[in-house]
Structure 1
Amino acid sequence: MILGWRYPCVLSVFLAAAVAPASHCRAEQQGAWGGSARWGDLGNGGYRNPVLPADYSDLDAIRVGDDYYAISSTFQFSPGMAILRSRDLVNWSTVGHAVPDLTQISPELDWTRMNRYGRGIWAGAIRHHAGRYWIYFGTPDEGYFMTSAERPEGPWTPLHQLLGSAGWDDCAPFWDDDGKGYFIGTNFSDGYKIHLWEMGPDNKSLVPGSNRVIYQSKGSEANKLYKFNGTYYHFFSEVQGDARVMMMRRAGSIHGPWSDKRQLMHGDIAARQPNQGGIVQGPDNNWYFFTHHGDGDWAGRAASLLPVHWVDGWPVIGQPDQAGLGTMVWEGKMPAQGSPRLFPQGSDGFDAGALAPVWEWNYQPRMDKWSLSARPGFLRLQGFAGLDGGNLLKVGNVLTQRVVRAGGQSFTARLELKGMADGQHAGLAHFTAQPRSGNPAESTASAGIVMVDGKRYVEISRDGGYTRLRPWTRDTIWLRSSWGMDGKATLAVSADGKRFEPVLAGFPLTWGAYRGSRAGLFSFNPVAERGYVDIDGVDYTIGNR
């Protein structure tokens, strides 16, 4: 409820003066990955990839009327399966999530267990059929699930399990012109065999006896089924040598026979291997592929928008070379003009009755230990014990957003401390899911307040080791993390929100368990279930110069 802070599902992005209009260029002209501090909508009629320089993995996208919707995998974060919307394929906002309760999948995704790092909700597909939106996805331990809604914002129906078996991923539904439904997915535990089923008329079941293997190769996954001009297309990716490449086959019937595979784009390790997404027709009537980059780093797996050129009936992704294979395109003309500049992460004043969709909890939260109604205009986080002392990877109710790779970010929160109790810790944290033994750099860090014997102290932590710095007598504290293109964060504290004192500098943000780093807010108390902090808002400023 800080004055002047809004409740956006998007972010105010600071931009320098417009540069000359963008033009397509090759990957080698871009320089090293992540070397450009400008991205997305350049404000001059052009855009630059990645359009979302943050962890938007396992994308799929569709067009419904003049709107575009995309989904992104969320693993152990809740609510699960992020849903994005755009009018131009470059500026995106978060409109919601498809899975409000991860315990529908498994109790291992609850705050009481927290045992699914690197697992949980993997890739899926979104489709619009029979007046409803449909999302299907896989989890590597539990199988395939689906849900549907009249509106992308929800409410979404309770999850229904199509296949209760481990070892499956990268699924998609397909409905033919006669309304008949089909379902495709990869059994990665059985040599990456790709299976095709018929779906039942309720679109919630797989017809017994209809299952057949239609393809298998090294690492074959990322499945989608399309129908263009009466021809059926099976999109997938596979591993060739050191690279993952995008492939396609086509047929005159959904039942085959399928043509030989056709490579759509060079495997581009320097561009971090774009390889999973959705093919859509843009508002300019050109075709595009909205994709993640398969190789992640501290900012996760970023998203790019690539042009699609139809060559001999094949949707070649990127700029075709002389051999007809696509190459990475870093800049292009905006598919549409006039949309506001949006981004799916951003500030929140906690003024609404529900959390803004920019937020995701680390695992399913303990619902009785947080509130927006206890003190309207504030987020209240109560203290309770984690599962492993001060290990932030095992602390419940950590509320997070994705970090962004751009030219200068700050994530600032104002905490009111009057409700704290002895033993309670509260603050701002960065983390990735990987423990220190599995990561070349530390994976968690925090700055905040601890209360001991009725007194409050500033403290910092690195990988579960906490250091008390000095007493803090004020009832309010501002906490800020700032980082830039180098992925090194500085955590700082302030008594007035203007002058910040660094307390932990140069913390390396890291990649772990298929996810980039997160910024989050936490409160825990290993001594007793007592104490709370009230958070007056978060100002998330993201640079784009």
Structure 2
Amino acid sequence: MVGGCAGQLPAGAAGAAPTQAWRSDQGDGTYLNPPLNADYPDPDIIRVGEDFYFVSTTFANVPGLTLLHSKDLVNWDILSHVVNRLEGRPQYDLADGGAYRAGVYAPSLRHRDGTFYVAVTPVGQSTRIYQARDPRGPWTFVELGQELFDPALFFDDDGTAYLASAIGSDGTITLYTLDRTVSRISGSRVVHYYQGAEGSKIVKRDGWYYLFNSIPRRLGMTVSRARSLFGPWETRASIDDTTGGHQGALVDLPNGDYYGFVMLDAGAKGRVTNISPVFWRDGWPIWGTPEAPDRVPARAPKPIPGHPFREPPASDTFASRTLGLQWQWNHNPLNDRWSLAERPGWLRLKAAPGDQLWSARNTLVQKGQAPGGRGEVVVDATGINPGDVCGFGTFGKFSGQLAVAGQPDGSRALTMRVTEATERGPVVDTRVAALPLTAERLWLRTDMDFRTERATLSYSVDGQRFTPVGGTLPLVYDWRTGTFQGVQFALSCYNPGASGGHLDIDGFTLTPLP
């Protein structure tokens, strides 16, 4: 949908901070969509004073529900995660096939009287309301006793709390009233019906209530309006994936203007969030500009000028005693199987239970970035034991793992393994026979090119000359059998036995593809 190339800045942007793989802020008062060219799906964005907050789906990844912060809707940084650990189902610990494509998704973010609230429904569990005075946490939660699909939290002008819920297989939109403590449902009422509607969000402006719904069957969005939350509602079609996206709503600026945010299905990188100017016609919000209505612009003036370039972290030296906020585990981790303290300046991944990547505990991931990114790690394989498979690569529908494998005789070899997630379970393809290794220090590289939707894995013994291994592998987004996320970078170490060793990683670096 958008043009532009990572790292290329317009005149006047000289001296700006370098980008990782994508730069939205062009340094001349304009930005490119999407502001974050990576998988940040099911967005909900609010403003509190002069600060914007953005919460996003993370499924089974831990910590979960990423919360970002911005001053201008363009330059974002990761602030925290709402959920430290997933509780209540053994699948969150990778039992019974795990919780890929489940977990937590479609969160709703609101603020009232100095408290931040996030409503979310973990798959198969009751809806939860998380709250915190500080968006950095700590967050606590209560359960409402019902499983409400895609809950949309809304506080009216008098402080009354509501949740709207609709599931696309039906389209009936039910409004639930909550008590003042936002911890109990006190009533419910069907307020609207629109075939296929889900992903509801409610915004109020000038005495009108606006209800936004995603219509997944046609990858489009509707907007409805009414003078009362209980209807009657008048509904119009809005934008769709050919013009910008299909799930989102509005956020107001300090000056009273409005911008739209909307999710777009974008291939192997996953689902991105676009930010769009909005203008009003006869009391209806129109995405885009009067000159180009009903379309999210590829490039537009920044909503609020003057704020500097920022981006979520990606590269990591592992010098801290805590993992960077860009990292997540594939499911709940085994905390005794990893360390940042045992070898300061290194991440130590101890072999966790698993016989192949898809079912292995403690795989550490972060989002791939479009249009293309090169991830590189330096590893020390001294601690590899027989049976260990420890390495670096991609994680998704197809997961490519360039790994050091401990051999029965105590030697080590390099292997390339591809795991395909299917309806019958994961299928492992060992691309190359084990290549004997004598070096203890290796450079492992993963190139993801989302323009061609292919990845290449390679290694080096000197950090200069890299050798590709196993050919290319596909980058695929698949909500049916994959992770329901864009392809991620993955660090892993597992062993089907009980005598595993460890892999030490001396930093991760992400740069644009050459």
TM-score, normalising length: structure 2: 0.89
1:494 Cα deviation (Å)?
1.3
- The aligned residue for residue 363 of structure 2 is 398
1:423 maps to which of 371, 387, 406: 387
1:478 Cα deviation (Å)?
1.2
1:50-449 matched pairs, under 5 angstroms: 50-102=34-86, 104-157=87-140, 159-165=141-147, 168-188=148-168, 191-207=170-186, 210-238=187-215, 243-254=218-229, 256-263=230-237, 265-267=238-240, 269-271=241-243, 274-282=245-253, 285-293=256-264, 295-320=265-290, 326-386=294-354, 389-390=355-356, 392-406=357-371, 408-432=372-396, 434=397, 443-449=398-404
2:458 maps to which of 470, 477, 492: 492
Given that 2:61 and 2:329 are in contact with CA atoms closer than 8 Å, whether structure 1 keeps it comes out as: yes
Distance 1:296 1:331, change over 3 A: closer
Given that 1:296 and 1:515 are in contact with CA atoms closer than 8 Å, whether structure 2 keeps it comes out as: no
SS in 1 for 2:219: strand
CA distance in 1, matches of 2:256, 2:460: 51
Root-mean-square deviation over aligned CA pairs: 2.3
CA distance in 2, matches of 1:420, 1:72: 37
CA distance in 1, matches of 2:261, 2:33: 11
Given that 1:248 and 1:261 are in contact with CA atoms closer than 8 Å, whether structure 2 keeps it comes out as: yes
Given that 2:128 and 2:144 are in contact with CA atoms closer than 8 Å, whether structure 1 keeps it comes out as: yes
SS in 2 for 1:393: helix
Q: Are positions 1:451 and 2:406 aligned together?
A: yes
CA distance in 2, matches of 1:107, 1:188: 27
1:252 Cα deviation (Å)?
2.6
SS in 2 for 1:41: coil
Given that 1:402 and 1:518 are in contact with CA atoms closer than 8 Å, whether structure 2 keeps it comes out as: yes
1:171 Cα deviation (Å)?
1.3
Q: Are positions 1:532 and 2:502 aligned together?
A: yes
Q: Are positions 1:512 and 2:478 aligned together?
A: yes
CA distance in 2, matches of 1:505, 1:431: 17
1:270 Cα deviation (Å)?
3.1
Residue identity in the other structure for 1:447: L
Given that 2:167 and 2:196 are in contact with CA atoms closer than 8 Å, whether structure 1 keeps it comes out as: no
Moved more, 313-322 or 109-118: 313-322
- The aligned residue for residue 26 of structure 2 is 42
1:300 Cα deviation (Å)?
0.2
Q: How many residues align?
A: 488
Residue identity in the other structure for 1:290: F
1:509 Cα deviation (Å)?
0.7
CA distance in 2, matches of 1:148, 1:326: 35
Given that 2:57 and 2:105 are in contact with CA atoms closer than 8 Å, whether structure 1 keeps it comes out as: yes
Residue identity in the other structure for 2:181: D
Given that 1:111 and 1:366 are in contact with CA atoms closer than 8 Å, whether structure 2 keeps it comes out as: no
SS in 2 for 1:377: coil
1:474 maps to which of 417, 421, 439: 439
SS in 2 for 1:491: strand
CA distance in 2, matches of 1:354, 1:183: 36
Q: Are positions 1:18 and 2:2 aligned together?
A: no
- The aligned residue for residue 7 of structure 1 is none
SS in 2 for 1:109: helix
SS in 2 for 1:298: helix
1:496 Cα deviation (Å)?
2.3
1:259 Cα deviation (Å)?
3.2
Moved more, 280-289 or 506-515: 280-289
CA distance in 1, matches of 2:76, 2:373: 18
CA distance in 2, matches of 1:337, 1:321: 21
CA distance in 2, matches of 1:219, 1:100: 33
Given that 2:7 and 2:23 are in contact with CA atoms closer than 8 Å, whether structure 1 keeps it comes out as: no
- The aligned residue for residue 9 of structure 1 is none
Distance 1:291 1:204, change over 3 A: same
Greater RCO (Cα-Cα under 8 Å, separation 6 or more):
1
Residue identity in the other structure for 1:261: T
- The aligned residue for residue 6 of structure 1 is none
Given that 1:111 and 1:365 are in contact with CA atoms closer than 8 Å, whether structure 2 keeps it comes out as: no
1:395 Cα deviation (Å)?
0.8
SS in 2 for 1:170: coil
Distance 1:20 1:220, change over 3 A: farther
Given that 2:192 and 2:233 are in contact with CA atoms closer than 8 Å, whether structure 1 keeps it comes out as: no
Given that 2:172 and 2:195 are in contact with CA atoms closer than 8 Å, whether structure 1 keeps it comes out as: no
SS in 1 for 2:504: strand
SS in 1 for 2:149: strand
- The aligned residue for residue 33 of structure 1 is none
1:59 Cα deviation (Å)?
0.3
Distance 1:76 1:107, change over 3 A: same
TM-score, normalising length: structure 1: 0.84
CA distance in 1, matches of 2:88, 2:262: 26
Distance 1:456 1:332, change over 3 A: same
1:39 Cα deviation (Å)?
5.4
Residue identity in the other structure for 1:523: C
1:20 Cα deviation (Å)?
9.7
CA distance in 1, matches of 2:211, 2:279: 17
CA distance in 1, matches of 2:317, 2:236: 50
CA distance in 1, matches of 2:418, 2:28: 43
- The aligned residue for residue 425 of structure 2 is none
Given that 2:9 and 2:26 are in contact with CA atoms closer than 8 Å, whether structure 1 keeps it comes out as: no
CA deviations over 1:383-419 (Å, ceiling 9, x no partner): 1321xx22x111110000111121x411011111222
Distance 1:283 1:346, change over 3 A: farther
Given that 1:98 and 1:154 are in contact with CA atoms closer than 8 Å, whether structure 2 keeps it comes out as: yes
Residue identity in the other structure for 1:160: V
1:14 Cα deviation (Å)?
6.0
Given that 2:378 and 2:505 are in contact with CA atoms closer than 8 Å, whether structure 1 keeps it comes out as: yes
CA distance in 2, matches of 1:304, 1:427: 34
Residue identity in the other structure for 1:118: R
1:282 Cα deviation (Å)?
3.4
1:296 Cα deviation (Å)?
4.1
SS in 2 for 1:421: coil
Moved more, 499-508 or 359-368: 499-508
Given that 2:38 and 2:370 are in contact with CA atoms closer than 8 Å, whether structure 1 keeps it comes out as: yes
